[in-house]
Structure 1
């Protein structure tokens, strides 16, 4: 499990790009306009060329109530609550405690934030149904919303088992 530790300073705004290629680098890049220069099109999409390949981009906004964060997972462990701070969730009906080990929770530091994602595809616009990244982002948002709403908020769910 992870716990997000927000930095004391305001996190930097980031431009998040999902590019359909594999790069053997996972750090910052000093990209110049020679290598990366996305240009907006009249229809609201973007076009860029990366190593001679034409890419078409679609901007996906993060929905209201959500926040995108760039995280750095550290080796630091989050402090565990003491037994006095717990409300004894492991106590069973006889008053005995289960012998469960506490779950290790690692800290993730927030490096930046974003409110939109640019999803790129080779030569054509990413499709809502065919592009795995675009589809994954949209399905994850729907899943997160379903997980965090109550039965009263979602009329499509029923608490009855048939």
Structure 2
């Protein structure tokens, strides 16, 4: 019998995420700490964890400070970009084995901002956590609708590259207008490398 780990690495893991149910709003109360807390269950966090503003701004990031178990933390609250929402998910114990799903998750809460904390450095735009937010602009660019006009202008390649490879001089170049489709494929491929 093969183990779950080997099956997952070969076949991947499938499942569902249910975002339709009621979810508490944790905006302004969600923190990403630079440590692992091995505790499951309720805790009166607000009695002990009390962030406060410092008045310091670095790279446009407003710095906050707090302490956790006597260790100073510096952090920043980051808004989730427009059009997106963060969710805290909980794994359902009622797994639907008959349909082949191995995981079923449901939203417990949602958030529009998150505060991340550093232990040994001030927050900045170069932090690993902050760089995660660059993927939103990458995702937007990849999934953005492209108009035909925009597509044509992005495929125009600098003709001087082709001129050098096919040996056009200034006098013959002025009378010749060529598009990328007029050149042999090997010239196009070599010039784009």
The verdict on a shared fold, with TM-score over 0.5 as the criterion, is yes
Q: How does 1:29-68 map to 2 (within 5 A)?
A: 29-33=43-47, 35-43=48-56, 44-68=62-86
Distance of 1:124 and 1:8 partners within structure 2: 39
Counterpart position of 1:98 = none
Report 1 or 2 for greater relative contact order, CA contacts < 8 Å, sequence distance ≥ 6.
1
Between Structure 1 and Structure 2, the one with more strand by share is 1
- For residue 73 of structure 1, report the CA deviation from its aligned partner: 2.3
Counterpart position of 1:134 = 130
Distance of 1:143 and 1:77 partners within structure 2: 34
- For residue 142 of structure 1, report the CA deviation from its aligned partner: 2.8
Distance of 1:158 and 1:27 partners within structure 2: 54
Q: Which moved more, 1:11-20 or 1:112-121?
A: 11-20
Provide TM-score, normalisation by structure 1: 0.66
Distance of 1:78 and 1:158 partners within structure 2: 48
Number of paired residues?
135
Query: Considering only aligned residues, what root-mean-square deviation do their CA atoms show, in Å?
Result: 3.3
- Which protein shows a greater Rg? 2
Counterpart position of 2:111 = 114
- For residue 24 of structure 1, report the CA deviation from its aligned partner: 1.8
- For residue 121 of structure 1, report the CA deviation from its aligned partner: 0.8
Between Structure 1 and Structure 2, the one with more helix by share is 2
Distance of 2:32 and 2:71 partners within structure 1: 15
Any conservation in 1 of the 2:86–2:110 contact (CA below 8 Å)?
yes
Provide TM-score, normalisation by structure 2: 0.57
Distance of 1:139 and 1:38 partners within structure 2: 26
